[in-house]
């Protein structure tokens, strides 16, 4: 425990107090200002409490507080612009999850099945094009070699068929979250998780966890926004949500450990201490220390106008090559523990300067606040925007979600589907 650690508790506590104040003011954790501040309350306190030996600079946490405040003030402005599209009261709609939804989502289960099959096809095509056979996957050492070769191939290639098909995994994630919210039938709710199968296959094939996390944040973003539209102001911390979290979090850790063992080419209980104390702690909580080191040294930041916030677009247009992991330099956040994950805030600062990044986050809050007001009043056209905001927020400890073209295109398919529903049916909401 150092002086920097103690001083960091002050801005971290202010973020938490701001979250509680916004929740009381806006009456829902799903309000953009409340949701962003709640997430960053967790994202600051968890590293501070779980990895107390990691380096942290209080100035970095103060900057995060300013960023959270920028999103909050932007959302306030967005919420104050009244919508005339629907007269339904934003607060106190229908909070009973057993009440049948009033919006029909045609062919949604079919879209999930098709998206999952195309995603599975992406896995098969990628593997077969590598020249390996399936026997290699069932032996640890060949599996490690296959994973390394496939990962290198993914870095060097541009947009092959398997990469294009990968879009449908994330589109399926958005569709799945919508289906889980919209239906009360058990078999359809199970179907809502189908897109995770190709994502898990990718994770084990390439020995990387990101595929499952990408799909999960797409699924959650859709789930939260659709549920808000259907049932109005919903509580986030319900008994059901806590029960699901109590199952999902241990499964997540088991998944992480399994993938790390595959990456190391070994399986055994003796690896658990190393994985838990080194790999897991750095992967889940190293971002705050890395951002602290970088921002403390950042002085004259060259403006790159989107290179690190929209890296995928710049790479696609040939304007700037996206490196694996976005940032190539690693920093030591504790003895022998290094990382190159600096949060989304570093990219924003390098792209738009310190004051410019606050302005961008203010605009994000404004757009999200505007979308939230429309969705809470029953307007389906803004559901995709709000879903993207939730997914974006969940991924901010890592980097900007807009760096991934496949995710954005997958989200675009989801947005088009919702627009088709809105304009293709004369009456969606029961009067």
Which range among 145-154, 164-173, 274-283 has the greatest average pLDDT? 164-173
Who wins on pLDDT, 165 or 367? Answer: 367
Mean pLDDT to the nearest integer, 382-405: 95
- Reference 331, options 316, 320, 343; nearest CA is 343
Asked whether residue 38 is assigned to any structural domain, the reply reads: no
Asked whether residue 68 is assigned to any structural domain, the reply reads: no
Percent helix, strand, coil in the chain, to 5, is 70, 0, 30
Mean pLDDT to the nearest integer, 135-158: 59
189, 183 in Cβ contact below 8 A? yes
Would you state the structure tokens that stand for residue 195, as one six-digit string? 């897109």
**In whole angstroms, what is the distance from residue 326 CA to residue 329 CA?**
9
Those residues whose C-beta lies under 8 Å from the C-beta of residue 345, and which sit 6 or more positions away, are 63, 64, 67, 291, 295, 357, 396
Q: How confident is the model at residue 273 (pLDDT cuts 50, 70, 90)?
A: confident
Residue written as token pair 């998206």: 115
Asked whether residue 249 is assigned to any structural domain, the reply reads: yes
Q: Which helix (H) or strand (E) holds 200?
A: helix 196-206
Q: What is the pLDDT of residue 424?
A: 42
Would you state the structure tokens that stand for residue 325, as one six-digit string? 């992991």
Q: How many CB atoms lie within 10 A of CB 188?
A: 15
Mean pLDDT to the nearest integer, 357-385: 94
Who wins on pLDDT, 421 or 429? Answer: 421
Q: How would you classify residue 326: left for phi > 0, otherwise alpha for psi between -120 and 50, otherwise beta? A: left
- Reference 386, options 223, 233, 237; nearest CA is 223
Q: How confident is the model at residue 329 (pLDDT cuts 50, 70, 90)?
A: confident
Query: How many domains are there within the chain?
Result: 1
* Strand 331-334 relative to strand 337-339, pairing: antiparallel
Residue written as token pair 């501070």: 48
The pLDDT of residue 324 is above 80: no
**In whole angstroms, what is the distance from residue 131 CA to residue 344 CA?**
37
Q: What is the pLDDT of residue 241?
A: 78
Q: How confident is the model at residue 154 (pLDDT cuts 50, 70, 90)?
A: low
**In whole angstroms, what is the distance from residue 349 CA to residue 355 CA?**
8
CA torsion angle for 199, 202, 207, 213 (degrees, to 10)?
-20
Who wins on pLDDT, 342 or 3? Answer: 342
Q: What is the pLDDT of residue 145?
A: 64
For every residue of 98-111, which 3-state class applies, written as one string?
Answer: CCCCCCCCCCHHHH
Enumerate the H helices of 265-303 as residue ranges: 272-274, 281-285, 287-297
Asked whether residue 260 is assigned to any structural domain, the reply reads: yes
Q: Which range, of 102-106, 114-118, 380-384, 408-412, averages the lowest pLDDT?
A: 102-106
Q: How many CB atoms lie within 10 A of CB 30?
A: 23
Q: How confident is the model at residue 89 (pLDDT cuts 50, 70, 90)?
A: very low
Who wins on pLDDT, 1 or 391? Answer: 391
DSSP tag of 400: -
423, 381 in Cβ contact below 8 A? no
Q: What is the pLDDT of residue 90?
A: 42
Q: How confident is the model at residue 430 (pLDDT cuts 50, 70, 90)?
A: very low
Asked whether residue 348 is assigned to any structural domain, the reply reads: no
CA angle, residues 405, 408, 412, in degrees to nearest 5 = 135
**In whole angstroms, what is the distance from residue 252 CA to residue 265 CA?**
20
Q: What is the pLDDT of residue 162?
A: 77
* Strand, helix or coil for residue 338: strand
Asked whether residue 74 is assigned to any structural domain, the reply reads: no
Sort 189 into a burial class: Cβ within 10 Å, 0-12 / 13-18 / 19+: middle
Q: How confident is the model at residue 335 (pLDDT cuts 50, 70, 90)?
A: confident
Would you state the structure tokens that stand for residue 90, as one six-digit string? 């934003």
The pLDDT of residue 76 is above 60: yes
Q: How confident is the model at residue 239 (pLDDT cuts 50, 70, 90)?
A: confident
DSSP tag of 303: P
Q: What is the pLDDT of residue 102?
A: 61
Asked whether residue 357 is assigned to any structural domain, the reply reads: no
Q: For all residues of the chain together, what is the average pLDDT? A: 83
Q: How many CB atoms lie within 10 A of CB 237?
A: 9
Mean pLDDT to the nearest integer, 291-300: 89
Asked whether residue 71 is assigned to any structural domain, the reply reads: no
Who wins on pLDDT, 155 or 305? Answer: 305
**In whole angstroms, what is the distance from residue 174 CA to residue 225 CA?**
10
Contacts by residues 250-258 (CB-CB < 8 Å, ≥ 24 positions apart):
253/280, 255/200, 255/203, 255/209, 255/212, 256/209, 256/280, 256/283, 258/204
113, 192 in Cβ contact below 8 A? no
Q: How confident is the model at residue 214 (pLDDT cuts 50, 70, 90)?
A: very high
**In whole angstroms, what is the distance from residue 254 CA to residue 258 CA?**
6
Would you state the structure tokens that stand for residue 120, as one six-digit string? 């599975």
Q: How confident is the model at residue 139 (pLDDT cuts 50, 70, 90)?
A: low
265: containing domain: 84-340+370-424
What would the pLDDT profile of 9-48 be if each residue is shown by its tens digit? 999 999 999 999 999 998 899 999 999 999 999 999 999 9
**In whole angstroms, what is the distance from residue 376 CA to residue 383 CA?**
9
Q: Rg of the chain over CA atoms, in angstroms?
A: 22
């Amino acid at each position: 425990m150092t002086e920097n650690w103690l001083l960091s508790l002050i801005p971290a506590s202010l973020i938490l107090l701001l979250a509680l104040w916004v929740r009381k003011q806006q009456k829902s954790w799903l309000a953009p200002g409340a949701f962003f501040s709640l997430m960053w309350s967790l994202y600051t306190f968890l590293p501070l409490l779980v990895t107390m030996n990691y380096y942290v600079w209080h100035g970095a946490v103060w900057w995060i507080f300013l960023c959270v405040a920028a999103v909050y003030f932007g959302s306030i402005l967005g919420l104050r612009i009244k919508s005339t599209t629907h007269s339904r009261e934003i607060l106190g709609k229908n909070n009973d999850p057993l009440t049948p939804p009033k919006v029909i989502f045609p062919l949604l289960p079919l879209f999930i099945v098709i998206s999952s099959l195309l995603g599975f096809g992406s896995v098969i095509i990628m593997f077969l094009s590598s020249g390996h056979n399936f026997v290699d996957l069932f032996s640890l050492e060949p599996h490690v070699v296959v994973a390394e070769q496939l990962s290198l191939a993914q870095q060097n290639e541009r947009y092959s068929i398997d990469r294009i098909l990968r879009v449908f995994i994330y589109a399926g994630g958005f569709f799945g979250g919508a289906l889980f919210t919209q239906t009360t039938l058990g078999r359809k709710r199970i179907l809502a998780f189908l897109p995770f199968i190709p994502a898990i296959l990718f994770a084990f094939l390439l020995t990387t966890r990101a595929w499952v996390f990408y799909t999960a944040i797409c699924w959650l973003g859709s789930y939260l926004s659709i549920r808000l539209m259907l049932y109005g102001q919903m509580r986030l911390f319900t008994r059901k949500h806590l029960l699901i979290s109590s199952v999902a979090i241990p499964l997540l850790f088991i998944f992480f450990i399994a993938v790390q063992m595959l990456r190391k080419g070994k399986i055994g209980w003796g690896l658990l201490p190393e994985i838990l104390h080194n790999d897991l702690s750095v992967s889940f909580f190293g971002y705050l220390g890395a951002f602290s080191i970088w921002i403390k040294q950042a002085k004259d930041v060259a403006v790159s106008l989107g290179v690190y916030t929209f890296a995928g677009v710049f790479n696609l247009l040939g304007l700037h090559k996206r490196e694996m992991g976005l940032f190539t330099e690693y920093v030591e956040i504790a003895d022998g523990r290094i990382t190159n994950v600096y949060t989304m805030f570093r990219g924003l600062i390098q792209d738009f300067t310190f004051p410019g990044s606050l302005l961008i986050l203010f605009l994000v809050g404004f757009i999200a606040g505007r979308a939230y007001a429309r969705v809470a009043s029953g307007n389906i056209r803004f559901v995709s925007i709000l879903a993207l905001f939730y997914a974006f927020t969940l991924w901010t400890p890592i980097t900007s979600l807009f760096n991934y073209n496949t995710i954005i295109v997958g989200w675009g398919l989801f947005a088009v589907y919702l627009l088709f529903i809105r304009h293709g049916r004369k009456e969606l909401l029961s009067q």
